A and B are shown apart, each in its own frame.
Chain A
Amino acid sequence: GENVEQHPSTLSVQEGDSAVIKCTYSDSASNYFPWYKQELGKRPQLIIDIRSNVGEKKDQRIAVTLNKTAKHFSLHITETQPEDSAVYFCAATFWGEWGAQKLVFGQGTRLTINP
């Protein structure tokens, strides 16, 4: 079935430390994995994404790694700052009805950066 598991559900780190959020997906045909950040009371916004033909992608302090064999991908945030505090959602594509892809989201991780 369509399933994306995300862990942990909450994460608290000291400012300057690194944070890692992990997701697993159920369908080996999934080929696109975005990460969204949702600050309190605001809309989800894409922060980084990776496609299945790439194992790792980095954008400044944020990186995503993908292990297709194990069907899991991770978000890495280095040198965390207070503004990184938010809920982070992973997602993966699944083939829905009518042969079309859609995004299925993980449950979310509430990240808190402690000053």
Chain B
Amino acid sequence: ETGVTQTPRHLVMGMTNKKSLKCEQHLGHNAMYWYKQSAKKPLELMFVYSLEERVENNSVPSRFSPECPNSSHLFLHLHTLQPEDSALYLCASSQLWTLTDTQYFGPGTRLTVL
């Protein structure tokens, strides 16, 4: 599959569970991003990785833990989430991040926290 892929597409978890979201980009890009999309709210940037180094963190709660093992893969580890964390989590990538190149989004993971 080309472009940016995300798994799983849907996830339901309890507040005590631990789960991980996976993102993979097949575009040869050097920057990857996690966004949160909630109903009636703008897309919120959570994390930015450039060349596998984290460069931006918008004061995201520690129950969200990102991991970027290489430039093609990005994970978001989730633990002890709250119901208000239910949202669509979008991954994106771009060639470079400092030049704000076009960001290509994945299809998202629809997360429901019970």
Q: List residues of A whose CB falls within 8 A of some B CB.
A: 4, 6, 32, 34, 36, 42-46, 49, 89, 91, 93, 96-98, 100-108
Q: How far is the CB of B45 from chain A (nearest CB, A)?
A: 6
State A100–B55 Cα separation when bound (angstroms). Answer: 8
Q: State the majority secondary structure of interface residues on A.
A: strand
Taking residues whose C-beta sits less than 8 angstroms from the other chain, chain B's interface range is 20 to 34
CB distance B45 to A107 under 8 Å? no
Smallest CB-CB separation from B45: which chain A residue? A102
Question: Do A43 and B100 touch across chains, with their CB atoms under 8 A apart?
Answer: no
B interface residues, Cβ below 8 angstroms from A? 4, 40-45, 48, 55-58, 90, 97-98, 100, 102-108
Q: A93-B100, A97-B56 are in contact. Are A43 and B42 (CB under 8 A)?
A: no
Q: A89-B42, A98-B56, A102-B48 are in contact. Are A43 and B107 (CB under 8 A)?
A: yes
The 8 Å CB contact of A101, one of B41, B98, B108, is B98
B23 to chain A, nearest CB (A): 12
- B108 contacts A100, C-beta separation under 8 Å: no
A-B interface contact total, Cβ < 8 Å:
56
Instruction: List, sorted by A's number, 26 A–B pairs whose CB atoms are closer than 8 Å.
Output: A6-B42, A32-B100, A34-B102, A36-B105, A43-B4, A43-B105, A43-B107, A43-B108, A44-B43, A46-B102, A46-B103, A49-B102, A89-B43, A97-B56, A98-B56, A100-B56, A100-B97, A101-B97, A101-B98, A102-B45, A102-B100, A103-B45, A103-B100, A103-B103, A107-B42, A108-B42
